[in-house]
Amino acid sequence: MFHLLSKLLLIFIQPLTWALLLILVALLAKKTKTRKASLILSVLVLLIFSNGFLLNRLATAWDITSQPPAGTRYSCAIVLGGFSSKGPGSQYGHFNASADRFIQALVLWKQKKADRILVSGGNGHLTKSTFLEGQFAVEQLKKLQVPDSVILMESESKNTFENALYSKQLLKQKNCKGPFLLVTSAFHMRRALQTFKKAKLDVVPYPCDFKLNTGNVQADDFLPKAEVLSLWSMYIKEIIGVIAYDLRS
């Protein structure tokens, strides 16, 4: 039930949804003042949440960018799902825009910074599917000639809370000792760290998949962009997730 509610909530935390609802109010409102106010607000929402400059400022404050100390070797790199999606048919998959999570986990092993790779991810969609992200990732690792002894996988988790829960169980079962590297997107790292530490897993952040250039301001940062609307939704989800977790704790 919680998983269902969280998915439904995603619809209502998107700025585009807010703008559409305001336009709907304007269409249905009988008072001229209400119609004008709703239309003005809808335009403001679209302008504010399609602005790359404002999003970059948020990302600069929110993203965790620190890397672990050089020269340290870890028993395992835990890479969180979200880097692949279901392709044509129910069993095929492909890498998506967050594939850097998978790439960096592989690089950490190749560079002997992590002895093992634990892939944590099942199917977080509401609709049933035989596609499981963990299984997809294991298939790709084997194609890249990563030995079976290196790979750990759980494909039951549907969200970050379950990522932490099932990863902890698997690491205990395999007698792996922390600290562990936690590999996920920079925008997601803050919530992931909070969740894994709450589960009493000793993790060190290894952020990747940086969505934004949080350095120098570019002229086109001030131009409205459709993709910025989507990124705002991602950040709003993370912020609400952290606040909700704090309130539940």
Residue 94's CATH number = 3.40.50.620
Q: Could you tell me if residue 111 is inside a domain?
A: yes
Count CB neighbours of 117 within 10 A. Answer: 24
Rounded to an integer, the average pLDDT of 26-45 is 96
Q: Would strands 203-208 and 151-154 be described as parallel, antiparallel, or unpaired?
A: unpaired
Q: Could you tell me if residue 68 is inside a domain?
A: no
Q: Could you tell me if residue 56 is inside a domain?
A: yes
Mean pLDDT of all residues belonging to the chain:
90
d(CA 115, CA 218): 40
- pLDDT at 99 (0 to 100): 97
Domain that holds residue 43: 2-63+226-248
Q: Report the SS3 class of residue 113.
A: coil
d(CA 132, CA 215): 36
Instruction: Check: CB of residue 82 under 8 Å from CB of residue 184.
Output: yes
Q: Could you tell me if residue 83 is inside a domain?
A: yes
pLDDT over threshold 90, residue 1: no
Which residue, chain included where needed, has tokens 């494909």?
A: 155
Q: Could you tell me if residue 128 is inside a domain?
A: yes
- pLDDT at 75 (0 to 100): 96
Is residue 223 very low, low, confident or very high in pLDDT (cuts 50, 70, 90)?
A: confident
**Residues 31, 129 within the same domain:** no
Count CB neighbours of 52 within 10 A. Answer: 22
d(CA 50, CA 180): 37
Structure tokens given for 80: 């969180």
**Residues 90, 133 within the same domain:** yes
**Residues 36, 102 within the same domain:** no
For 182, counting Cβ atoms within 10 Å of its Cβ (0-12 exposed, 13-18 middle, 19+ buried), the class is: buried
Q: Could you tell me if residue 213 is inside a domain?
A: no
Structure tokens given for 24: 């709907």
Tens-digit pLDDT profile for residues 76-135:
999 999 999 887 755 578 999 999 999 999 999 999 999 999 999 988 666 666 789 999
**Residues 40, 98 within the same domain:** no
- pLDDT at 3 (0 to 100): 52
d(CA 84, CA 86): 7
**Residues 186, 97 within the same domain:** yes
Amino acid at 79: V
**Residues 23, 92 within the same domain:** no
User: What are the strands, taking DSSP E only, across 114-227?
Assistant: 117-120, 151-154, 180-185, 203-208
Instruction: Give the orientation angle of helix 15-28 with respect to helix 226-248, to 10 degrees.
Output: 100
Task: Provide the whole-model pTM.
Answer: 0.90
d(CA 93, CA 82): 12
Structural domains in the chain (count): 2
- pLDDT at 124 (0 to 100): 64
Q: Report the SS3 class of residue 98.
A: coil
Structure tokens given for 129: 């599917």
Q: What percent of the chain has pLDDT over 90?
A: 74
